[in-house]
A and B are shown apart, each in its own frame.
Chain A
Amino acid sequence: MHTTQQSVRITRGRRVLIGASAAAAALASLTLSIASAQASARAQGPTLVVYSAQGYDSAVVTAFNKTNPGFIVTLNDNSTGPLLQQIQAEGTHPKWGVLWVDGSQAFAALDRQGKLAKGIVPKVSFNAVGRANIAADGSFVPTGLTATGALVYDSSQISPARLPKTWADLLKPEYAHMLGMNDPTQSGPTYPLIAGVMNDLGHYTNGSPASAIRTGEAFFTRLKKNGLVINATNGPTLGAIQSHKIAMAIIQSSAGYGAEISTSPTIRVAYLNPVTALPGTIGIDGLMPKTVQDEARKFVDYVLSPAGQHVMQIGDPQGDSLFWPVLNGEKPANKVIPALSSVPMQTTNPYVWGPLENQINAWFTAHVTNG
Chain B
Amino acid sequence: MTSTSTSLVTRDTATLPGVAVSPSSATRPAPTSPARRWPTLAWGSLAIWVVLGLLIVAPVVSFLLLATSPRLFQQGSSYFTLRYVREALSGTTGRGLFDSLWVSVVAAVSSTGIATLVAWLVQRTNVYGRRVWGLLMWLLLLVPTWMMTLGWGDLLQPYGAASTVGLPVSWLYGEFFGPLGIVIVLTTAALPFAYFIVSAALRGLGSEFEDAARIHGAGRLRTVRTVLPILAPALWSAVAIGFAETMSDFGVAFTLGYHANFPMATYTLFAAISNFPANFSVAAVIAVLLIVATIPPIVLQSRATRRRSYAVLSGRTRTPRRREFGPMARVGVTVGLGAVFLVALGAPVLGAVVGSFVRNLGIYAPAGVHFTTASYAAILHPTIADKSIGAPLVLSNQLGIVVATATGVLAYVLGRRLGAGRGGWGQRVTDVFLLGTVAIPGVVLGVGYIFFYNLSAISSHLINLYQTLPLLMLALTANALPGQTRFMAGPLAQVQPSLAEAARVHGAGRWRTWRSAQLPLVARVLVWGWLLTFTKTIAELAISQVLYPPSHEPVSVTIQAYLGNYQLGTGTAMTVLTLLEMLAVIGVVLGLFRLLAPRGWRRIGWSGVRT
Contacts and interface: CB of A to CB of B under 8 A. Distances in A.
Nearest to B542: A82
Contact of B398 (A16, A30, A77): A30
Nearest to A258: B565
A362 B90 CA distance: 12
Contacts of B159: 242-243
Interface string B559-583: 0010111111000000000000000
B596 interface: yes
A26 B404 CA distance: 13
A127 B70 CA distance: 43
Interface in A218-242: 231-236, 238-239, 242
Given A12-B598, A74-B550, A315-B384, A93 B277 contact: no
A244 B451 contact: no
Interface string A78-94: 11011011101111110
Contacts of B350: none
Contacts of A79: 561, 564
Interface string A338-371: 0000000000000000000110011001100110
Nearest to B63: A89
A358 B385 contact: no
A245 B258 CA distance: 18
B362 interface: yes
Interface string B462-485: 000011111000000000000000
Contact of A242 (B275, B364, B384, B567): B364
Interface in A52-101: 55-56, 58-59, 74-79, 81-82, 84-86, 88-93, 95
A299 to B, nearest CB: 13
A358 B282 CA distance: 13
Given A85-B273, A91-B74, A243 B158 contact: yes
Contacts of A81: 273-276
B401 A19 contact: no
Instruction: Among A27, A77, A106, A264, find the residue whose CB has the most chain B CB atoms closer than 10 A.
Output: A77
A283 B419 CA distance: 55
Q: How large is the interface on A (under 10, 10 to 19, 20 to 34, 35 or more residues)?
A: 35 or more
Interface in A1-56: 12, 15-16, 18-19, 26-27, 30-31, 34-35, 37-38, 49-50, 55-56
B385 A369 contact: no
A370 B545 contact: no
Contacts of B566: 233-236, 238-239
A319 interface: yes
A206 interface: no
Nearest to B466: A95
A89 B276 contact: no
B402 A358 contact: no
B447 interface: yes
B565 A85 contact: no
A50 B550 CA distance: 8
B550 A49 contact: yes
A133 interface: no
A55 B386 CA distance: 10
A91 B74 CA distance: 7
Contact of B592 (A19, A59, A244, A358): A19
A19 B592 CA distance: 9
B271 interface: yes
B456 to A, nearest CB: 5
A82 B545 contact: yes
B276 A15 contact: no
A371 B37 CA distance: 64
Contacts of A233: 564, 566
Nearest to A362: B91
B91 A85 contact: no
A113 B519 CA distance: 57
Given A34-B398, A38-B469, A95-B467, A369 B157 contact: no
Contacts of B104: none
Given A243-B362, A264-B360, 8 more contacts: A15-B598, A16-B519, A49-B467, A77-B550, A78-B557, A85-B273, A90-B450, A370-B261
Interface of B: 73-75, 91-92, 157-159, 258-259, 261, 263, 271, 273-280, 360, 362-364, 366, 384-385, 387, 398, 401-402, 405, 447, 450-451, 454-456, 459-460, 466-470, 515, 519, 545-546, 549-551, 553, 557, 561, 563-568, 592, 596-598
12 contacts: A16-B596, A81-B276, A84-B276, A85-B278, A85-B546, A89-B278, A109-B276, A185-B275, A235-B564, A238-B566, A239-B568, A357-B276
